[in-house]
Homo-oligomer: A and B are copies of this chain.
Amino acid sequence: MNEQGSPQAGTNLDPWYHHYAERAGGLRASEVRALFAVASRPEVVSLAGGMPFVSALPQELVINAMERVMVEQGAVALQYGSGQGVPALREQILEVMALEGIRAHADDVVVTTGSQHALELVSKLFLDPGDVVISEGPSYVTAMVIFKSYQAEIDHVPMDENGLIPEALREHIASLKAAGKRIKFLYTIPSFHNPAGVTLSWERRLEILQIARENDILVLEDNPYGLLYFDQPAPDAMRSVEQDGVVYLGTFSKTLAPGFRVGWALAPHAIREKLVLANEAAVLSPSSFSQLVISEYLSSADWKGQINTFRGVYHERKNALLGALDEYLPELGWTNPNGGFYVWLTLPERLDSKAMLPRAVTELVAYTPGTAFFADGDGHQNMRLSFCYPTPENIRVGIRRLATVIRAELDLLDTFAGTGSLRAAPSGRQFGAPPPNLS
C-alpha cells in the first residue's frame, strides 16, 4: 500500500485509505444526514428537513409543460446542451431576478444543477487550502461542507434580528487580515436566512457591500427564499446595487420544485466564463430536459401566481409554528421570519439541543440541532425548526411533543441538580431570558 498519502477519516479496513486526496478528510457525514433518515419515518413530525411542500404545485402544470417540450423539442430535450444553459431559460431567469431589483444580461447567467452546484463550482474556482470564507454564524450546513471540502476555513460573523452585523464584520476582517489570512469571499443568505430566519436590512446591505468593496472581498449572495416572503417583500437583492463584486445564486427548487435540480449563478463576466468551464468539466451540461420543462412552465403557466400560492402555504405554517411556540413554550426565545422556511429557537442555557435530539425522536418529533450550522461547535443552545413541509396541524403536534421533551429534560436536570451526574447549568439564566442570540 502506498504510504505517501496523509491519514484521512475512515478506517484501515478501506484498502484505499492512504490514497485519498487531503481534501477528502473534510468530507464527513453531516448531522442533517442522519436526520433525513429519522424524518422519513411517518410517525415522526419532522421539523428538521428543508423540503419544499411540492404538493402545492398542481401536477397538471408540470405534465403539460413536459408534454409540450417532448412534442415540440423532444430531440433537443433528450440531447446534450450548452455548458452555460438553455438561452431561453437564461432570459426567463432575468425576469425572475427582476422581481428582486436585479438588472442583468442573460450572458452573465450560468444554469447549474441546483444552486448547490453553483456553490460547489464557485468554491472550486476560488478556494485554496487555508483560504477563509466569512459567513454568518449560524450558516447553511451544506455550504460549509463544500467550503471545508476545499480545505477553506470558515469564520462566523454574528447576526441579530436585522441580519449580519456590519460592525462585527469589520472587526472580523481586520483580525483575519492582521493574522495574514486570505479572505476569499463573504458567503451570505441575506433574505429569510437558513437557519436563522432573519433578513438583512436594506441599510445593512449597502453597508456590507461597502465593507466588501473597501476590503476587496467578493460577496456570494445565496438567495433561495427571497420570493417566498409573507407580509412584505425582502429588501432588493445585494446584486441589485453591486454588479462587479457579487456572485448571486438563485434556484427553482423553492419556487417550483427541487426534483429538476435547476438553479443558477449570475456572475461578473470573467468569473462567469470560468464558471461555464467548470460546469462543463463537472457535468458537460446541465439537464436539457429539466431546463426546457422549466422554461416551458415559465412561458405558459402563471408562475407568479404559483409563488403566491407557496407564500400562502408557508405563511400559514409559520403562523402555526409561532402560535404553537407561544402556547406550549412561551418562556423560550425565537426569531419571527417574514419569509422562507425556518425559525431559530433558543433554549435555556442548561439544555443541549444536540444531546436532547435522541430523546426528542423518541417522542416522535425531530429538529436540527444548532451545532449543525456552526463550523466551530457552537449552537448547542439553539435549534432550527422548519415549517415548510409538515401541515399546520402536525406542526402543532410537533411543538407540543417538543415542549414535553424540553420540560422532561429540565425536570431531570432539576432532580439531579448538584449530583454531578448530568451536565450542570453553566449559569443561572432561565426561560424568558435574552432575545435569541444568533452568534
Contacts and interface: CB of A to CB of B under 8 A. Distances in A.
A21 B289 contact: no
Contacts of A82: 36
B55 A63 contact: no
B21 A150 contact: yes
Contacts of A424: none
Contact of A116 (B24, B125, B283): B283
A114 interface: yes
A278 interface: yes
Interface string A106-118: 0000000110110
A257 B62 contact: no
B277 A29 contact: yes
Q: Which of A15, A28, A150, A280 has the most CB of B within 10 A?
A: A280
A281 B120 contact: yes
Contacts of A274: 10, 20, 24, 27
Contact of A78 (B5, B126, B259): B259
A281 B124 CA distance: 12
Chain A interface: which size bin? 35 or more
A184 interface: yes
B33 A259 contact: no
B261 A125 contact: no
A120 to B, nearest CB: 5
A278 B27 contact: yes
A10 to B, nearest CB: 6
Contact of A259 (B57, B79, B124, B245): B79
B70 A284 contact: no
B51 A117 contact: no
B59 A74 contact: yes
A273 to B, nearest CB: 8
Interface string A41-66: 00000000001101101010011001
A268 interface: yes
Interface of A: 1-2, 4-5, 10-11, 13-17, 19-24, 27-30, 33, 36, 51-52, 54-55, 57, 59, 62-63, 66-67, 70-71, 74-82, 113-114, 116-117, 120, 124-128, 131, 142, 145-146, 149-150, 182, 184, 216, 218, 244-245, 253, 257-261, 268, 270-271, 274, 277-278, 280-290
Instruction: Sort A-B residue pairs by CB-CB distance and give the 5 closest, nearest first.
Output: A14-B270, A78-B257, A259-B288, A78-B259, A54-B78
